[in-house]
Chain A
């Protein structure tokens, strides 16, 4: 259950909340429907969990719908997802047929709500072909791509583009992630909810409880990476960095991640990680349930050094969460991490396990820098990457796209 808008006033200020209410008045009664592929796990579902109720509070008729599919469907969409991020994947004509058939079945169920909506926001590739099926749509349709599709595996993009180009507009998290499409392409970075279970302040008892639960030593530095078990997150590279640091400093490592129902590849990656850990008692590999938000929050707050050593990344919301907890991040020099981590300012960008190990050792020997950089990082998140900014940009988009005008300045 998300908090009401007024609960954020103490964090972002009353002017920001007042601004959102004024914009909501302009959109009162508008029917907004989000469509995604999973209610559990992943940043997109988390965003919609707070965004939909807040839009409703502002007077919009907002809802989100889930498409249902078989295990095979999600294996195929995972391949599509990987292909869009540049991975060479094999998707046969039969697979694409399964993809379209599952979408067709879902369309049969969702048809009334999709046809009547004023704005439909379709998230990521899984439900992207719904637009092809909804011939009697009345509203504007927007495709929201949360991942980096700047260098896709061309055969995958060639098919998916035939759906994407039918939309009235698309949204990408960063300019670097976009692909040319024959409609306006907007840029909206994602955000975090500072009052969610994953981000709210925790009391000392909750932190010590988590430390005890996972058998973490309070006297030794703790390195943590939390993200899905996904090859692009490079958990094996994190273990390599840990081993380099371990030669000189007795650190502990937590690699924690949740499984999402649309990510069948995660199990295989988890097995590889366990094999790489070789039973080292100071490497804690945790497969967390998707609702373990408080545990993730506690691990983030217990960490001395934070890693997000991705080799390919969308925006990287995990990084934003770290920063909100006042922690500098050692992140892979890719995707949205580059936007968030500014060297010597809010963290460090690295390219190799060796680079990560170097920065870990630097920070462990300059504890005051951890506090300084963490403080800077938290303020940047407050000003730019909380849900209030995200909500404002969606409202701006709805106002702009419903006006049907192309002017750079719209009076509403």
Chain B
């Protein structure tokens, strides 16, 4: 097998240029017109962002609906949307708008946030660089993941799903070079319900399942 080249990435947040949303109708309008990068940021890059909180939901729209619109029904419906199960960001956008439209139809008034509690639309610039680490043995993958940065775990396991071939993480693609021999590791990686993990937790979880697969093998 070719050695696995570990990359690392660092995220830099930037303003999208969209006006903030102060109520649910404005949220709908912004999501309709925002770029895919904005959508991707608020659904997927939240794990890489600095925070003082462990929010209930992984995507910013659900968190905002709960904390600032005070609409827990909407928060739950948005919160369960897993962006990695959609084939494209456009499909994710459609599903998000569907949830919002359903809620607007149910509501007697448009849920709104207090001034100062608006949702700001962000995107990011991600710089990717060689981490200078090479993994040669699949049996050592778990140990490397345990020690790698959050940026590396994000880039290879989450962000990779956005790149062709769609929906596959880099570790799995590498292991598939020798699919039969590496099947336990491939299945172990596929068994993780990853979307709801923080990155430190995700690294631990991936390392644990790969270690268990190694023992079983």
Residues of chain A whose beta carbon lies under 8 Å from any beta carbon of chain B: 14-16, 18-19, 22-23, 26, 175-176, 178, 180, 184-189, 339-342, 345-346, 377, 380, 383-385, 389, 392-393, 395-397, 399-400, 407-412
Binding site of B, secondary structure by majority: helix, strand, loop or mixed? strand
Q: Is the CB–CB distance between A412 and B37 below 8 Å?
A: no
B10 to chain A, nearest CB (A): 4
Q: Is the CB–CB distance between A409 and B52 below 8 Å?
A: no
Q: Is the CB–CB distance between A396 and B149 below 8 Å?
A: no
Chain A residue contacts of B50, Cβ below 8 A:
189, 384-385, 389
Cβ-closest chain A residue relative to B121:
A175
Q: Is the CB–CB distance between A342 and B10 below 8 Å?
A: no
Q: Is the CB–CB distance between A396 and B14 below 8 Å?
A: no
How far, in angstroms, from A410 to B126 measured CA to CA in the complex?
A: 6
Q: Is the CB–CB distance between A410 and B51 below 8 Å?
A: no
Within 8 A of A (CB), among B1-44: 8, 10-15, 17, 20, 37
Chain B residue contacts of A23, Cβ below 8 A:
10, 127, 129
Given the known interface contacts A22-B130, A380-B51, the answer about A410 and B149 at a Cβ–Cβ threshold of 8 Å is no
Q: Is the CB–CB distance between A399 and B127 below 8 Å?
A: yes
B151 within 8 A of A: yes
Cβ-closest chain A residue relative to B203:
A15
How far, in angstroms, from A23 to B53 measured CA to CA in the complex?
A: 28
B147 within 8 A of A: yes
Q: Is the CB–CB distance between B129 and A412 below 8 Å?
A: yes
Residues of chain B whose beta carbon lies under 8 Å from any beta carbon of chain A: 8, 10-15, 17, 20, 37, 50-53, 116, 120, 122-132, 147-149, 151, 159, 200
Q: Is the CB–CB distance between B131 and A400 below 8 Å?
A: no
Task: Rank and list the top 10 A-B pairs by shortest CB-CB distance, nearest first.
Answer: A175-B120, A384-B50, A187-B13, A396-B10, A185-B15, A396-B12, A15-B149, A400-B125, A380-B52, A342-B53
Chain A residue contacts of B124, Cβ below 8 A:
408
Q: Is the CB–CB distance between A187 and B51 below 8 Å?
A: no
Q: Is the CB–CB distance between A175 and B122 below 8 Å?
A: yes
Cβ-closest chain B residue relative to A407:
B125
A229 to chain B, nearest CB (A): 26
Chain B residue contacts of A14, Cβ below 8 A:
147
How far, in angstroms, from A175 to B13 measured CA to CA in the complex?
A: 9
B117 to chain A, nearest CB (A): 9
B83 to chain A, nearest CB (A): 15
Given the known interface contacts A15-B149, A396-B125, the answer about A384 and B13 at a Cβ–Cβ threshold of 8 Å is no
Binding site of A, secondary structure by majority: helix, strand, loop or mixed? helix
Chain A residue contacts of B52, Cβ below 8 A:
339-342, 345-346, 377, 380, 384-385
Q: Sample 20 A-B pairs with CB under 8 A, ordered by A number.
A: A14-B147, A19-B8, A22-B130, A23-B10, A180-B17, A184-B14, A186-B12, A186-B125, A189-B50, A345-B53, A383-B200, A384-B50, A389-B50, A393-B12, A396-B10, A396-B127, A397-B12, A408-B37, A408-B123, A412-B129
Q: Is the CB–CB distance between A185 and B129 below 8 Å?
A: no
How far, in angstroms, from A180 to B8 measured CA to CA in the complex?
A: 31
How far, in angstroms, from A23 to B129 measured CA to CA in the complex?
A: 8
Chain A residue contacts of B8, Cβ below 8 A:
19, 22
Cβ-closest chain B residue relative to A398:
B127
Chain B residue contacts of A385, Cβ below 8 A:
50, 52
A140 to chain B, nearest CB (A): 14
Chain A residue contacts of B11, Cβ below 8 A:
396
Q: Is the CB–CB distance between B128 and A392 below 8 Å?
A: no
How far, in angstroms, from A51 to B159 measured CA to CA in the complex?
A: 30
Cβ-closest chain A residue relative to B15:
A185
Q: Is the CB–CB distance between A408 and B122 below 8 Å?
A: no
13 further A-B contacts with Cβ under 8 Å, apart from A185-B14, A187-B14, A188-B13, are A14-B147, A15-B148, A22-B129, A175-B15, A180-B17, A186-B14, A186-B125, A345-B53, A383-B200, A408-B126, A409-B128, A410-B125, A411-B129
Cβ-closest chain B residue relative to A180:
B17
Given the known interface contacts A19-B151, A399-B127, the answer about A384 and B14 at a Cβ–Cβ threshold of 8 Å is no
How far, in angstroms, from A185 to B13 measured CA to CA in the complex?
A: 9
Q: Is the CB–CB distance between A19 and B131 below 8 Å?
A: yes
How far, in angstroms, from A273 to B52 measured CA to CA in the complex?
A: 32
How far, in angstroms, from A187 to B126 measured CA to CA in the complex?
A: 13
Chain B residue contacts of A380, Cβ below 8 A:
51-53
Partner of A400, one of B20, B127, B130, B149: B127
Q: Is the CB–CB distance between B10 and A393 below 8 Å?
A: yes
Chain A residue contacts of B14, Cβ below 8 A:
184-187
B103 to chain A, nearest CB (A): 24
Cβ-closest chain B residue relative to A150:
B116
Partner of A176, one of B53, B116, B126, B200: B116
